[in-house]
Amino acid sequence: MITAGIDIGVEHIKVIILKDRQIAGRAKGSSGGADRGGMVEQAYQAALRDAGATRADVVKIAATGKGKHNAAIADVLISEQVAAAKAARFLYPGATCVVSAGADEIMAAVLGEKNRINEYTFNQKCAAGLGLFLESMARRLGMSLEDMSRLGAPKEAAVNEGCVVMAELDALSLLNHGVSREEVGGAVISAAAVRAASVIHDITKPAKDCVVLVGGLARNAAFVRALKAISGIEFLIPGEAEYAGALGAALPVAETA
C-alpha cells in the first residue's frame, strides 16, 4: 500500500512516499509563496517519480505544515506537532521527546504512551531563533547557510536573542565596530540556540535522553552544536530530519488507509 505525506512549510515543501510503511521516495521544493498549490503539485510529482509510483497508486495523501490548507490534493490534514511526534517514534521507538526546529516555529513535545503527546510548547510569535532568522542574517553577512553551518562559537560577540529586529541591529553594530563576520555569525547562531533552548526548557520536565531533533535547522551543524552546549542534550538526529514532518503525516494514514 502506498501513502504520501506532504509537509508544506513557510520556506520549503517536503514530500515522502511510503510503501508498506517504508520510505520509497522523497522530494523537496520551494514553498512557492503565493503559488503554494502549484509548488505542492510539482514536489508531489517529483516524489512519485523518485518512488517509481503513479498518482493512481497512492491510496491516501496527508498534509501538514503551516501551508497544509493550501494542499488541495490532501485527503487528511495533520497538525505539525502530531506529525513530528509520529515521525520521532517511528524513527526512534524509545524517543521520549521531540524538538522540531523549522523556518518559522520551534516546538518541543514530550511523548507519552500510545504515541500520545503528554505536553508540548512552542516559541512565541517572533522569528528570533528560527530558520527564517538565520537565512536573513546569512544574507546580511554575505554568507550561505552552509557557511553559517561551519561557524564556531563566538569568542566575545553576542546579539539579542529575544527579538529578531534587535538581533539584526546588534549584528550590524558589531560589524560597524570591526568585528569579523564569522564572529558575528557565530553570535547569531548562539542567539538562535539560546532561543530554541528556552522553548525546550519551557516544558515541565525537559527530557535529557532520547530527544529527537527534526526540522530544517537540524541540518545546521553550528546551530546543533550550540544547542547541545546550552541545553546539555545529546540529540538524536535522523537522516530524514528535514522530512520528518512529511513522514509523520504519511504514517497515520498508512495505519488507517
Partner 1 sequence: MKEGQVWETRPLEFWAKAKELRASWQASAGDEARVVGQGSTYSVDWAECFPALNVVEDNPGGSMIQAKDSPFARKCRLASEIRGWGREICGYTNNLWGSMFLGYEQDGRPFPLRQFVIPMGAECDQHTKRGQQCRDFSPVPQWMEDHCIYFGEDDPERDVPIIEHNDYCQLRQINDIERIFGQKFNDEKLSDMIKASEIIVEYARDIQVLIGTTKPAPLSAKDLYSVYTIGHLTKVDPQETVNFWKMVRDEVEWRAKNHIAALGTERFRWIEAHPPSWHFLKYYRYMEKYGAVCVGSQYLQQNCELLEYKPDGGIDRRAAPKYPADTPIKTREDAIRVMVGPDARTPRAWKSDEYIRRDSIVEFAKIMQADGALLPLWRSGVGCTLTRKEQAMRLRNELGLSVIYYEGSQPGDRTDLDELRFLDHLDTWMESLGFEKLED
Task: For partner 1, give the closer residue by CB, 69 or 150.
Answer: 69
- State the nearest-atom distance from the C-beta of 124 to partner 1, in Å: 6
**Residue whose grid cell is 515541565:** 204
User: Going by DSSP bridges, is the β-strand pair 106-111/117-122 parallel, antiparallel, or unpaired?
Assistant: antiparallel
CA-closest candidate to residue 58, choices 15, 21, 17: 17
Task: For partner 1, give the closer residue by CB, 25 or 206.
Answer: 206
Task: For partner 1, give the closer residue by CB, 137 or 249.
Answer: 249
The whole-angstrom separation of Cα 67 and Cα 220 is 23
- State the nearest-atom distance from the C-beta of 206 to partner 1, in Å: 13
- State the nearest-atom distance from the C-beta of 174 to partner 1, in Å: 28
Task: For partner 1, give the closer residue by CB, 107 or 157.
Answer: 107
Sheet holding 117-122, edge to edge: 117-122, 106-111, 97-101, 211-214
Please enumerate in sequence order all residues whose Cβ is within 8 A of that of 253, keeping only pairs 6 or more positions apart, or say none.
3, 5, 59, 60, 61, 62, 75, 76
Task: For partner 1, give the closer residue by CB, 2 or 83.
Answer: 83
The whole-angstrom separation of Cα 10 and Cα 110 is 24
- State the nearest-atom distance from the C-beta of 77 to partner 1, in Å: 8
- The three-state secondary structure class of 109 is strand
> Are the CB atoms for 208 and 200 separated by under 8 Å?
no
- State the nearest-atom distance from the C-beta of 53 to partner 1, in Å: 28
Task: For partner 1, give the closer residue by CB, 124 or 173.
Answer: 124
Where along the sequence are the contacts to partner 1 (CB under 8 A)? 66, 78-82, 85, 109, 114, 116-122, 124-125, 202, 204
Cα-Cα-Cα-Cα dihedral of 143, 149, 153, 155, to 10°? -10
- State the nearest-atom distance from the C-beta of 3 to partner 1, in Å: 18
DSSP 162: S
